[in-house]
Chain A
Amino acid sequence: MRAGPRLSRRTFLTAGVAAGAGLAIGFCPGGDTLAAAAPSTEPFAPNPWIRITPDNVVTIIVDKSDMGQGVLTSMPMLIAEELEADWSAIRVEQAPAGPEYVNPVTKRQVTGGSRSVRNSWELFRKAGAAAREMLVEAAAGEWGVPPEECRAENSTIVHLPTGRRLTYGQLTDRAARLPVPQNPPLKSPKDFKLIGKRLARLETPPKVDGSAVYGLDVKTPGALVAVVARCPVFGGTPRTVDPTRAKAVSGVRHVVAIDSGVAVVADAFWPAKLGRDALDIVWDEGPTAAVSSESIARAFEAAGAQPGVVARDEGDVLAALGGAARTLEAVYTVPYEAHATMEPMNCTAWVRADGCDLWVGTQAQGFNQQTAAKLTGLAPESVKVHTTLLGGGFGRRFEQDFVAEAVQISKAVGAPVKLVWTREDDMQHDFYRPTTWNRLTAGLDPSGALVAWTHRLVGHSIAARALPAIVKNGLDPSSIEGAYNIPYTIPNVRVDWVQKETGVPVGFWRSVGSSQNAFVTECFLDEVAAASGRDPYELRRTLLTKAPRHAAVLELAATRAGWGAPLPRGRGRGIAVHESFGSVVAEVAEVAVEDGRVRVDRVVCVVECGTVVNPDTVEAQMEGAIVYGLTATLKSEITIAGGRVVQSNFHDFPLLRIDEAPRVEVYVLPSAEPPGGVGEPGTPPIAPAVANAIFAATGTRIRKLPIGPADLRG
């Protein structure tokens, strides 16, 4: 009897000692159908993503990390489609870190940028097709028939004229001896059996019975648990450390200094935390102690008076503004935001003289390997990365700080160590979504047409620290994305960017620059509509004549939302459209403003993301991205006082709750183009859609986030 799809508990529990093994999910296929003949003895592994064993198990090795976006199902679908593998009997494994898993497009082994399916669309299908061609060839050879008479289906090769069959498992030895075709034919989309289907996610069952293993759940024999005291002020260092009281806590084994602070290492989490809290440390807070949200706002505003690096300059904006019948100007600001993944940062490291193992929920296995190699002096290939499930990523688990800490502590104490961050550690030592300051101007001609647009953006550069290779000509694309490339036809456009750092660390946060820039640009366009007496939807349509994808999602969103239908007093609809990560999303929010509070009742979301691999996953990602964006729109921000983060837990950084969550309707526009991103593009339009809806409901213009009661009073 075949068990249902499930995470193999045995497989995972042994992962603690089995090098290279990680999470494995999938079926345990019955072997009895193969009992008659099993000539093969060796696995067939034509590339790093496929391993077929003589027991006819097709294992697909996924080099992307699951943080809720479904890659452990969608990525195998790409391979299984071309391989003609029996979907009900595949196994999925998490890849280790290694050069064979460096993506040819990004040149990195990372999960981010909504790139998993996008950048492996050809790669994975070709991997599956190559294996299929080799298996066909192997069967044809076995039978002595032309390959054209053979067909692959459901993990078997059929000889069409005679109906003879061989399973993939029976062909592994023979297939493994064949050359790997470099350009195997790919299926026509009309023949897809899996791609485009609403398949159940393979990783769901272990997530409902407690058996799913996240980083915090890893059980490594003999592991100690570490909690670290870090200076609350960014960049501060310990001046004096007295470990006496910490060492007096029962269960505490070691107190060790590491680059980021002082680690208390104990038998379990609770004594480690009590020990950490009992450390007596005097900190040298350093220069960032003088930084506050107010000082940052002043510095950004001052920086905004200076010209920046030009990101886009078309036409002659100065002349156009000078000759305009009417000009508008507005300043928009957005705050720092925490990622606040539900699972706080953690990593288990075991550093030995001859190698290092890492068990970690990570978005960046390749960088993890480099980080550990650098800190230990080991060769990168001696660092094994075992990727667990991620209890949320959103860009936070791209970073290396928690991995570096775990490696340093394990090296210092000579034992495997599970480093655990508390929620407070996580909230106060994040790499935050950057704060930005924006001044925009628009020029209208006598007919009310938009003839000039300028946008000066002041903000951090994430890439300067995290991915310097992508900074080109003094411009960090992650800062200006969604601002320099607004889709509207405007004859004179100038966008420039002033980089300003503050000592507060910043990082990639779901949808990155688009998360702020969509709010700024789509709200300001709404201001243009109001100033010119145009309907916000109609104005966008007229400006999108050269952007058919944008126009298509916008029109469907308006239709589904009932744009223009009357609403009771105090209610309003707002619309926004934004392209990011290769996909275009339009959202219409319907809000009610009562007693100084905003309630978002309904969101209509239309996405065009090219070819859809799993429609349910696309819908789920849009639903989730909207809720993620609503927390930043309505609820939470990170503020700085005395060089440290003011917020510490969910009481002062509240997340949107179920009783505040709107009804979300998602519509996916069909497309035959290659897939666009799905994890992030749902987030950018929600803030402007809500802010524009508040304007429609109340006449009050929102120019900063998050939207609080004072902002609603206008």
Chain B
Amino acid sequence: MAALQIRVNRAEHAVDVSSDTPLLWVLRDTLGLTGTKYGCGVALCGACTVHLDGEPVRSCVTPVGAIGAKHVTTIEGLSPDSSHPVQKAWVAEEVAQCGYCQSGQIMSAAALLAKTGAPSDADIDAAMAGNLCRCGTYQRIRRAIHRAAARAGGGR
């Protein structure tokens, strides 16, 4: 089979996989980008959330052959040094417990803030309801998103 060209975190990759392989497993097993997590495989938990041209998508149900020239951004590519306002807010609020779902939470939150500078609690609920957290960090996720919004809005 011919190698597919994909763009991940600003780099070009040729990946020799079947085009119906979910992007998640190409990221994890082929490219070694294990920050994007497997939780359910059927777009029910959000742990695998990445950005496709800035839009949050569930990589576990996105066939790698379907992304074409769109840019994939994973948690590793969100910032070079954890300096994205969402990452900083996540540390400041000590959001993570086990941390396994947090890559997906952070990618969903970053996508929300890219569109909605000062989200309300209702905006946050709507944008984040697809990201499950078994440790129950939701209250801190909400607080961290408000914090990140305040920083991003006031700091530029």
Contact = CB atoms under 8 A, between A and B. Distances in A.
Contact of B139 (A209, A625, A628, A661): A661
A661 B138 contact: yes
Contacts of A392: 98, 100, 134-135
A269 B96 contact: no
A204 B29 contact: no
B97 interface: yes
Nearest to A198: B94
B106 to A, nearest CB: 6
Given A268-B25, A342-B39, A649-B44, A200 B34 contact: no
Given A208-B106, A216-B38, A655-B132, A627 B138 contact: yes
Contacts of A577: none
Contact of B100 (A206, A342, A657): A342
B139 A663 contact: yes
A565 interface: no
A340 B136 CA distance: 13
Contacts of A391: 37, 98-101
Contacts of A211: 35, 76
A13 B139 CA distance: 33
Contacts of A448: none
Interface stretch (A377-385, A398-406, A616-624): A616-624
Nearest to B137: A624
B34 A270 contact: no
Interface string A192-215: 000000001101111111111110
Interface string A509-536: 0000000000000000000000000000
A389 interface: yes
Interface residues of B, number: 60
Given A69-B97, A343-B100, A658 B34 contact: no
Contacts of B42: 423, 649, 651
Contacts of B71: none
A270 B98 contact: no
A269 B29 contact: yes
Given A207-B99, A225-B29, A268-B25, A655 B134 contact: yes
Interface string B68-110: 0000001110110010000100110011111111110010000
A212 B44 contact: no
Interface in B137-156: 137-142
A66 B135 CA distance: 13
A264 to B, nearest CB: 15
B135 A68 contact: yes
A664 B139 contact: yes
B8 interface: no
Contacts of A420: 38
Interface in A55-73: 66-70
Give the interface residue-count category, chain A: 35 or more
Contacts of B36: 210
B129 interface: yes
Contacts of B18: 250, 270
Contacts of B100: 214, 341-343, 389, 391-392
A394 B47 CA distance: 19
- Dominant secondary structure at the A interface: loop
A342 B37 contact: yes
Interface in A5-45: none
A67 B97 CA distance: 7
Given A204-B94, A207-B102, A213-B34, A270 B131 contact: no
Nearest to A624: B136
A203 B79 CA distance: 19
Contacts of A102: none
Contacts of A656: 136, 138
B80 to A, nearest CB: 9
A346 B80 CA distance: 30
Contact of B97 (A216, A423, A620, A649): A620
A393 B135 CA distance: 10
A281 to B, nearest CB: 21
Contacts of B130: 657
Contacts of B137: 620, 623-624
A545 to B, nearest CB: 34
Contacts of A422: 41
B46 to A, nearest CB: 10
Contacts of B91: 200, 204-205, 208
Contacts of B40: 423, 649-650
A46 to B, nearest CB: 32
B97 A68 contact: yes
B133 interface: yes
A658 B129 contact: yes
A655 B79 CA distance: 30
B75 A340 contact: no
A658 B102 contact: no
A389 B29 contact: no
A27 to B, nearest CB: 15
Given A207-B102, A342-B47, A623 B139 contact: yes
Given A209-B87, A211-B35, A659-B129, A342 B82 contact: no
Contacts of B22: 270
B21 interface: yes
Contacts of A269: 25, 28-29, 38
29 contacts: A68-B96, A204-B90, A204-B99, A208-B99, A209-B35, A211-B76, A213-B34, A214-B37, A268-B29, A270-B21, A270-B29, A342-B100, A343-B38, A343-B98, A344-B39, A390-B98, A423-B42, A620-B94, A620-B137, A621-B97, A624-B97, A627-B136, A627-B138, A630-B136, A649-B40, A650-B45, A651-B44, A656-B136, A661-B139
Interface of B: 17-18, 21-22, 25, 28-30, 32-42, 44-45, 47, 74-76, 78-79, 82, 87, 90-91, 94-103, 106, 124-126, 128-142
